[in-house]
Amino acid sequence: MNDANILIVDDERSIVELVATVLKKEGFTSIDTANSGEEALASCEKKRYDLILLDIMMPGASGLEICPFLRKTTDAPILFLTARSSDFDVLSGFAVGGDDYIKKPFNPLEVVARIRAQLRKVSRTTGKSEPLKQEQTVYNYGRFQIDEVKAALIVDGVPVHCPALVFQLLVFLCKHPNQVFSKSELYERVWGESMLNDDNTVMVHIHRIRERIELDPSNPQFIVNVRGIGYKLVPSSIVEGTGGYYAP
């Protein structure tokens, strides 16, 4: 994990230097920095990063503006640094491709902890380790198929880009069809930590799943709301011989 390639993007050089110094003290050895959105885009065109720490408020292109362009070249977790705290600002970060956010001012050790948590999640999602026992890793739901080991989502026969945590949440729901989970349960099971007072993260990631697998995301047939309780994945019938499900 400590050999992960990390990019820190912030126009405040003192913040960049502080975070880089703390990460190095914590054993991270591959750290690059950028002081603008344009520099970040140029860096990502030259090198593959495992995680990007991205400030929102920067001169020129903001973090929110460049995030969609970063997403065209990388699936790496993107953690926003922000002095904003409104629900709209937080949701905007998730909507453009962010995976988490950290409010300024922050404790540098909290940043390190969140980075480690994101890297652990990506490691589990991409299946870098061979499974110790034979278990189902491919799920067929007719319109879409998901391969957990290959980290692949196929919709109507076409590979679909899926950020790490969106994919991990979809895998979890595929493993538990017809089971209802509250937002806090999903957060604890997929993100691996307590949700505390933030329930927007799960809602945004459910929306991002629906955008990929539903014929009409505004009228979902697979990932449905159970009013007052949470969400569940609803298959219609088992596809013979696949171990998965088919929802016509």
- Domains of the chain, residue spans: 5-126, 138-246
pLDDT of 60? 85
Both tokens of residue 195? 């949700």
pLDDT of 214? 94
Average pLDDT for runs of 10 along the chain of length 248: 87 92 90 93 91 91 90 88 71 82 84 87 58 63 88 91 89 91 88 69 92 93 90 67 39
- In single-letter form, the type of residue at position 186 comes to L
pLDDT of 72? 84
Between CA 131 and CA 149 the distance in angstroms is: 9
Inter-residue contact 86 to 103 (CB < 8 Å): no
The maximal CA–CA distance of the chain, rounded, in angstroms, is 59
Inter-residue contact 30 to 3 (CB < 8 Å): yes
Inter-residue contact 90 to 200 (CB < 8 Å): yes
Give pTM, 2 decimals: 0.54
Q: Residue 211 to residues 21, 91, 96, 176: CA-CA distances in angstroms?
A: 39, 16, 13, 20
Partners of 146 in the beta sheet? 139, 153
Inter-residue contact 40 to 85 (CB < 8 Å): no
CA triplet 87, 74, 172: central angle to 5 degrees? 65
Between CA 103 and CA 65 the distance in angstroms is: 18
What does CATH list as the number for 138-246? 1.10.10.10
The CATH superfamily assigned to 5-126 is Response regulator (3.40.50.2300)
Between CA 213 and CA 169 the distance in angstroms is: 13
